[in-house]
Structure 1
């Protein structure tokens, strides 16, 4: 496992937690973990020792260390799998695409109650200008939502 792969997992975890409207302190800790991994760990393959050394830094707690070791040993973080399973497929596609910010995706899902591709696309088309989506971005989202997981 390389440094960037681990950092990307923490980025994804924080994004999914934002969409799920989880604890903001937890979200910030995973964002911090992603930055710290990128800035403090060496390039190349990571070792358990390097991950344990990371845990000595202020702001890197037990949960981050455990998730780092889990990713090193198993190639996945179970919390990410858990969050993915809890999301409707269309919401997950928006989350993985990265065009829309997590707060907008959370609004679409949690506040507007939209979780099907067709209703999400209708909302995005209607709100395109307010969301500052270019026609190209909207077309890409439409293609991704129609293609599905």
Structure 2
């Protein structure tokens, strides 16, 4: 029964991860990502090799399904923990409001479309690529994204993760 408690806690932290990303709040995002990673690793370590529930779910008597589920959860959890390192490195910068600033005209811009609408812009300025989310209130208005190449961008971001705090398009 213990693995299911850890799965529940991983899902609980997954809500933090998702809401931190949606609200652009670094602290909630990094706590959710780390918590989810920890509890996925713990889940993978507590699933027994002879798990009858997993054998029944995959309709087999072999031990391959429990080992496969353990491996997937372990790699996903470790990946999340390694992915959270650069965000944890940015927490002191975030708390001290010591943001990096990059300013200038972009060298390239690409759109990401989902279901016919633009959801993100990939903007490259001075060798750094930033993702501007269309849900942000200051998202630039344009007819063709090529016209943004003539605009001046100012982006406040965190140095390790490139987490965008704020940006202006002039």
Q: TM-score range by the shorter chain?
A: under 0.3
Question: Between Structure 1 and Structure 2, which shows a larger proportion of strand residues?
Answer: 2
> If the length of structure 1 is used for normalisation, what is the TM-score?
0.26
Higher relative contact order (CA 8 A, sep 6+): 1
Question: Between Structure 1 and Structure 2, which shows a larger proportion of helix residues?
Answer: 1
> If the length of structure 2 is used for normalisation, what is the TM-score?
0.24
